[in-house]
Amino acid sequence: MARSSNFLDTLLTSPATERYRVGLSVLFLLIVWLVVGSFSQGLPNNMLLMAAAVIGGYMAINIGANDVANNVGPAVGSGALSLGAAVLLAAVFEAGGAIIAGGDVVSTIKGGIIDPTNLDDPRAFVWLMTAALLAGALWLNLATWMGAPVSTTHSIVGGVLGAGIAAGGWAIADWSVMGKIAASWVISPVLGGALAALFLFVIKKTVLYQKNLVSAARTFVPWLVAIMAWAFGTYLMIKGVSKLVKLDFTQSALIGLALAAVVFFAMRTLVGRKAATMENSTDGVNMLFTWPLIFAAALLSFAHGANDVANAIGPLAAINDAIQAGGGVVTSASIPLWVMLVGALGLAVGLMLFGPRLIKTVGSEITELDKTRAFCIALSAALTVILASQLGLPVSSTHIAIGGVFGVGFLREYLKSNYATQLHKIMEHHDPAEQERLKPFLDDFRNASVEEMENLLKQAKKKKDQVPLSKSERKRLKKIYKEEMVKRSHLFRIAAAWIITVPASALMAAFLFFALRGLMI
């Protein structure tokens, strides 16, 4: 089984298969073109509908390639899932979420960012939505190639805004809505990062920094996993199942609470059984979070498929209804099954063909993740969405997840710096003649993980005469606590991509609108 998993991982990431990935994606889009063409014969502007379907499929591929990494990346980086298993799991649940809970009606104007009634030419609506869809897909494609996870919602919002301004002037835009979207660039990652760091700090204090980790894990881990169960149960009710059955927040929270109770007793039994053979170490505690992480990756993917598929099929559904109605403006569109399938299958195809690169970026290239840290990121993602939805704050699931990754990374940096700096101050006054007795301690300290450094610090306080510090050793110690645990290059690249997502896709959409209008008139 491990051999087949390794083979799949290699196949998904091998540069030699790049041309096959491109070829398969083109084949998928060709199939979309032919299938839509077969049942749209006789419709006015059926060629435009066929082109829009291909663009919608292309958008869905890019959503799968870019956005899905945030759902499974931490699980892969922590080792809870192999890359191949994560891709298969996410592909199934993304497509399932899109088809089962994708909804019957989607707002095609993306939160009211433009007023389409201001358009002088009703035909411009179809051109506008087509340009917006293509621009959003092109920007996502570029961001994926750069290795930057960006918000697919912001990509399509920028596209609609740019094409809308090109079609109807500056007055067509609702700038108050755009202000809220701009605010989410800060709100989403800060909330996600703060919550992830908070939960990681709590786990360290209640479990990982305790002398008897097994006993601490038996007490606290079932509660932590139960909180995750409540968060995901409520999250799915609000963001996914509510499209099938209407539930208010209180009903959703109660269902989540019932699920949390079941999970709590199941986890307490499981941890109790494992305690007898469990290693009294961080690795032993990490193993308890393997299955919660796998379920989290699956549930995040399901909810993402149910919601973000609208970024691909919402505009496509609007174009379909507008063409069916003879080219008029449509602000809310019913979604036929074929449109839903284009989005669902496109998500799965994009994830399997191009998703591994971003999964590796999120899971291992920003900061080192273990299962405990990945658990905190997943829990933060669910809780932040719930909190933001109740406060009416605009947030991006992509920004939340990436903020969580950076949050745990910066917490690790802070803890290591804090411990090392304290140790430096404690040892600074010791006599250099005791350097030989200090050397074993320094060797242990240099090789210690962040979690082990507090114990070493306590030893230093108790045995100050055994841990003197020379000038050269102080320099070595400074190098240790100045070590970056978050790669700044990734931080700056991702932040820059977030900032320019809306204006970049808007400019592309405006250009494409003028080009498309010139071709159609």
The pLDDT tens digits for 336-388 are: 788 888 888 888 888 888 888 788 888 777 888 889 999 999 888 888 877 87
**pLDDT, greater one: 181 or 374:** 374
pLDDT computed for residue 376 by the predictor? 92
| CA 166/CA 49 separation, integer angstroms | 21
CA proximity to 196, closest of 340, 406, 393: 406
pLDDT computed for residue 197 by the predictor? 94
CA 179, 181, 185, 186 torsion: positive or negative? positive
CA proximity to 152, closest of 519, 498, 518: 498
Residue 12 has pLDDT above 70, yes or no: no
Backbone angles phi, psi at 145, to 5 degrees: -60, -35
Tokens standing for residue 42: 């006789």
pLDDT computed for residue 324 by the predictor? 73
Q: Reduced to 3 states, what is the DSSP secondary structure of residue 42? A: coil
The residue count for the chain: 521
- Averaged pLDDT for residues 17-45: 85
Report the chain's C-alpha Rg in angstroms: 26
Confidence of residue 509 (pLDDT cuts 50, 70, 90): very high
**pLDDT, greater one: 511 or 120:** 511
In b/e form, how buried is each residue of 494-507, taking b as 16+ CB within 10 angstroms?
Answer: beebbebbbebbbb
pLDDT computed for residue 467 by the predictor? 53
pLDDT per residue over 184-203, tens digit each?
778 888 988 999 999 999 99
| CA 94/CA 84 separation, integer angstroms | 15
**pLDDT, greater one: 318 or 267:** 267
Residue 281, number of CB atoms within 10 A of its CB: 14
| CA 348/CA 343 separation, integer angstroms | 9
CA proximity to 97, closest of 294, 333, 307: 307
pLDDT per residue over 38-90, tens digit each?
887 777 778 888 888 999 899 889 888 887 777 888 888 888 888 888 888 88
Name the average pLDDT for the chain: 78
Confidence of residue 407 (pLDDT cuts 50, 70, 90): very high
> In terms of C-beta distances under 8 Å and separation of at least 24 residues, what long-range contacts does 168-171 make, across chains too?
168/114, 168/115, 168/116, 168/118, 168/119, 168/120, 168/124, 169/118, 171/118
Do the beta carbons of residue 136 and residue 127 sit within 8 Å?
Answer: no
CA proximity to 59, closest of 122, 116, 164, 129: 129
| CA 188/CA 172 separation, integer angstroms | 27
Confidence of residue 464 (pLDDT cuts 50, 70, 90): low
Confidence of residue 227 (pLDDT cuts 50, 70, 90): very high
Measured CA to CA in angstroms, residue 382 lies from 296, 377, 378, 379, 401 at distances of 9, 9, 7, 5, 9
User: Global pTM?
Assistant: 0.77
- Averaged pLDDT for residues 221-237: 88
CA proximity to 354, closest of 80, 81, 87, 133: 87
CA 396, 402, 408, 411 torsion: positive or negative? negative
Tokens standing for residue 430: 């010791």
Helix H or strand E segment including 206: none
| CA 279/CA 496 separation, integer angstroms | 43
Residue 102 has pLDDT above 70, yes or no: no
**pLDDT, greater one: 214 or 489:** 214
